[in-house]
Structure 1
Amino acid sequence: MSINAEKTPHHHGKLRAALVDAGIAMLESGERFSLRAVARQVGVSQTAPYRHFPDKAHLEAAMASTGFATLQHHLEDTLRATDPGRQVLTDLAATYVRFAAEHPALYELMFRVSVGEDDVRLPASAEVFALLERIVAEQYPGADRYGLASAGWSMAHGLATLYLSGQIPEKNPEELEARMAGALSAVLTLPPGAH
């Protein structure tokens, strides 16, 4: 599951993934991309991408889906690395915000409403949410797992969006992660009925 593509020959049957990786690499480097430009990057004919993507919107949906799959991979790595006794939701939120900070163009594409082919993009997003729900159910067995997972994702997404738009002052990953951990911890430690 690569986020950055290198210009290397593709193997038969892997052209679709190579095109997606090339599209992501071009997007993240600020290059304008199209199906033809991605074909040039991969080193195939200009018509080859059309076997996999009828138009740019379908390519973008596949790129967004890959972004969600990569985000999920990072979240799963965080779960494996988190020490017992630590607040795993704050670690996951920090990983989420760090992903957005490291891949701002891809992150924006992942949530762009106009991205087509949501039958590709939305299931990948749902997989991330299902992971969050599972962790909430494990960490807070009596809680509304859908509600808490939604709140956690909303907070992480909000902070990431504020960071990317320059609305918060934190400029390094450690400060950003500390802010996310503080926000989530504040909500998780509120006593019942607190206003």
Structure 2
Amino acid sequence: MSDISISLHDRLVDCGLTLIERGGEVSLRAVARAAGVSAMAPYRHFSDKAALMAAVARRGFAMLEATAARADVTPDAAEALAAQGAAYIGFARANPALFRLMFADGAGLGLPREECEGAYALMTRRVAQLAPARAETGTLACWGLVHGLATLALDGRIAPNPAAEQEVLRLIAEALARPVG
């Protein structure tokens, strides 16, 4: 691929992301219009709408990983784990349509697992520092908690309360750090 086609590919993904978040029509034709290119131009990069949506979901997973990495700045593993969780919930609130595309609407579900696990890997590293013997189950518990809170927030089942969310996240981090028994 030339630099021009890579640039157009990224621009089409950007436009798809913008249309999704605005709640507008998302089609290859709409993305082409938003990008200012011919109706046929997206077909050089995406075979169909599903391929475009997969690329948008892939971008979302990269954005989520970057968000979690920016939150993971302290050497204290419990603090970093809570900060990652808060960042995950914040990402969902800031990008609700993208979050649903990534996790519930099918586009993200069809991606290879390794393309979607960057934020999970960051979480795993911190859980392993807190509970090396329970890293796998501890990470699943943490991810289940933050994903559940994010989903409840998007569904309007919990009101935004960052202080309470932070307390819940600290609680699970402290529980992981306690010895078993």
TM more than 0.5: yes
Aligned to 1:41: 34
Helix, strand or coil: the match of 1:53?
Answer: coil
Taking a change above 3 Å as real, the CA distance of residues 158 and 37 of structure 1, as seen in their structure-2 partners, is same
Match of 2:107 among 106, 111, 115: 115
For the 8 Å contact 2:77–2:126, the answer to whether it is kept is no
Alignment of 1:34-113 (within 5 A): 34-80=27-73, 82=74, 84=76, 87-112=79-104
Deviations 1:144-194 (A, max 9, x none): 2221111111100001111111112x335x24533542552464366634x
Instruction: Report the alpha carbon displacement of residue 86 of structure 1 after superposing the two structures with TM.
Output: 5.5
Q: Which runs of 5+ in 2 are unaligned?
A: none
Is 1:132 matched up with 2:123?
yes
Instruction: Report the alpha carbon displacement of residue 83 of structure 1 after superposing the two structures with TM.
Output: 6.0
Instruction: Report the alpha carbon displacement of residue 135 of structure 1 after superposing the two structures with TM.
Output: 2.2
Instruction: Report the alpha carbon displacement of residue 79 of structure 1 after superposing the two structures with TM.
Output: 1.3
Report the residue type matching 1:162 in the other structure.
L
Is 1:188 matched up with 2:180?
no
Taking a change above 3 Å as real, the CA distance of residues 15 and 185 of structure 1, as seen in their structure-2 partners, is same
RMSD across aligned C-alpha pairs, in angstroms?
Answer: 2.4
For the 8 Å contact 1:57–1:117, the answer to whether it is kept is no
CA distance in 1, matches of 2:65, 2:164: 20
Percent identity between matched residues is 39
Alignment of 1:133-148 (within 5 A): 133-140=124-131, 142-148=132-138
Taking a change above 3 Å as real, the CA distance of residues 100 and 83 of structure 1, as seen in their structure-2 partners, is same
Could you tell me the TM-score, scaled by structure 1's length? 0.80
For the 8 Å contact 1:137–1:145, the answer to whether it is kept is yes
CA distance in 1, matches of 2:61, 2:111: 13
Q: How many residues align?
A: 179
CA distance in 1, matches of 2:148, 2:53: 23
For the 8 Å contact 1:24–1:106, the answer to whether it is kept is yes
CA distance in 2, matches of 1:74, 1:119: 20
CA distance in 1, matches of 2:7, 2:77: 42
Aligned to 2:141: 151
Could you tell me the TM-score, scaled by structure 2's length? 0.86
CA distance in 2, matches of 1:68, 1:35: 21
Greater percentage in helix: 2
Taking a change above 3 Å as real, the CA distance of residues 177 and 134 of structure 1, as seen in their structure-2 partners, is same
For the 8 Å contact 1:39–1:45, the answer to whether it is kept is yes
Q: Which runs of 5+ in 1 are unaligned?
A: 1-9
Helix, strand or coil: the match of 1:14?
Answer: helix
For the 8 Å contact 1:136–1:145, the answer to whether it is kept is yes
